[in-house]
Amino acid sequence: MELCIQVEHLTKRFQTQIAVNQLSFEVKKGEIFGILGHNGAGKTTTIEMLLGLQNPDEGKIRLLKKDGASIDKIIFERIGVQLQASSYQNNIRVRELCEEMASLYQDPADYHELLEQFELSPFAHHFVAHLSQGERQKLSILLALLPKPEMLFLDEATTGLDAAARRAVWDRLLLWKEKGTTILLTTHYMEEAAYLCDRILLLKQGNAIMEGTVADIAKGFASLEEAYLHYMEVTKL
Ligand SMILES: Nc1ncnc2c1ncn2[C@@H]1O[C@H](COP(=O)(O)OP(=O)(O)OP(=O)(O)O)[C@@H](O)[C@H]1O
């Protein structure tokens, strides 16, 4: 079994606050792994450390079999990243942004096809700044897919999408998974986690409180959401 991500005892402090505390987990090649937790649980900080955007205070990271938190050019070509706080240049059109981003990769996906798949073709000539929140969100996922990534990081990727668009994105992601892409995502939507994730990690105040399949976690509860609320409430740290 090949591992794409190995994290051991990852810890991040901001002043006196411990944002991520001794976090350890592994993500296998080809799986969709979800990190769930309340606002401020440490999900984005964890992803940012994996991507080398934040320096951990403690712990080890192995990404695509390479040590260290820094993303070199080879790793960069193999991963796709969608972050919550993506901001784009002013006065750039959707098509121009796609071209600019595609030029960073040796063998990018065809962005025209992706625009079609995400129902963004009608906006190709629009300024990114004029897109609706949901359209911009879909664009950020599309851009993450440009490298034809082996490994995809999605931080609350479907927040702001309507129900049909969200479902369409889920099905797209499952197709990428079928092609072998490993996905690490965060979400506040339990339905999304249940639909997509092979395994889930529950994070509370930076601590892992449970990890397993949706069935493992939801066992004994009416739904994943019921289980989530229960474990978040009762787990003492
Ligand atoms: N640069 C920073 N400086 C100080 N505190 C920070 C910084 N970045 C994050 N934090 C704090 O660390 C904690 C974890 O933040 P993080 O963004 O990882 O949470 P999250 O689980 O992604 O939350 P959300 O679901 O709201 O996006 C929060 O309490 C946050 O305020």
Residue 171 has what pLDDT?
95
Nearest-CA residue for ligand 1 atom 5 is 14
Distance 203 CA to ligand 1 centre (A): 12
Per-residue pLDDT at 203: 97
Phi, psi of 127 (to 5 degrees): -70, 140
Which H or E element spans position 224?
A: helix 224-234
Please tell me the distance from the alpha carbon of residue 142 to that of residue 145, in angstroms, as a whole number.
5
pLDDT at 69: 52
Q: pTM to 2 decimals?
A: 0.94
Q: What is the CATH number of domain 3-78+149-234?
A: 3.40.50.300
Mutation choice for ligand 1 from 43, 46, 48, 54, CB with most ligand atoms inside 8 A: 43
**Torsion angle, alpha carbons of 28, 29, 32, 38, to 10:** 50
Of 70-84, 162-176, 187-201, the range with the lowest mean pLDDT is: 70-84
Ligand 1 geometric centre to CA of 14 (Å): 9
What's the confidence (pLDDT) of residue 68? Answer: 67
Ligand 1 pocket test, pick from 14, 47, 190 with the greatest ligand atom count within 8 Å of Cβ, gives 14
Name the residue of 20, 44, 155 to mutate for ligand 1: max ligand atoms within 8 A of Cβ.
Answer: 44
Could you identify the atom of ligand 1 that is nearest to the CA of residue 46? 18
All CATH 3.40.50.300 domain ranges in the chain, comma separated = 3-78+149-234
What is the CA 123 to chain-centroid distance, rounded? 24
* Distance of CA 202 from the midpoint of ligand 1 (Å): 16
Beta strand 17-28 pairing with 182-186: unpaired
Determine the average pLDDT of the residues in 199-220.
Answer: 97
Give the residue from 20, 100, 79, 82 showing the smallest Cα distance to 54: 20
| 21 CA distance to ligand 1 middle (Å) | 13
Predicted confidence (pLDDT) at residue 85 exceeds the cutoff of 80:
no
Burial (0-12, 13-18, 19+ Cβ within 10 Å), 167: middle
The CA 89 to ligand 1 mean position distance, Å, reads 25
Closest listed residue to residue 5, CA positions, set 23, 22, 28: 28
What b/e string do you get for 31-57 counting C-beta neighbours within 10 Å, with b at 16 or more?
bbbbbbbeeebbbbbbbbbbbbebebe
Q: Is the pLDDT of residue 201 over 60?
A: yes
Structure tokens at 185: 């995502």
Q: Which residues line ligand 1 (CB under 6 A)?
A: 14, 19, 37, 39-45
SS3 of 147-187: the string is CCCCEEEEECCCCCCCHHHHHHHHHHHHHHHHCCCEEEEEC
Question: pLDDT (tens digit, 9 = 90+) per residue, 33-46?
Answer: 999 999 999 999 99
Crossing angle of the two packed helices 94-102 and 133-145, in degrees rounded to 10: 20
- pLDDT of the residue at 70: 57
Across-strand partners of 20? 12
Round to whole Å and give the CA distance between 28 and 128: 35
**ipTM > 0.90, yes or no:** yes
Residue 237's pLDDT band, with cuts at 50, 70 and 90, is: confident
Both tokens of 142, joined, read: 């599309």
Contact 211, 199 (CB under 8 A): yes
Q: What secondary structure, in 3-state letters, does 56-125 show?
A: CCEEEEEECCEECCCCCHHHHHHEEEECCCCCCCCCCEHHHHHHHHHCCCCCCCCHHHHHHHCCCHHHCC
Is the distance from CB of 106 to CB of 92 less than 8 angstroms?
Answer: no
Backbone angles phi, psi at 179, to 5 degrees: -80, -5
CA of 156, closest atom in ligand 1: 27
Mean pLDDT of the chain: 93
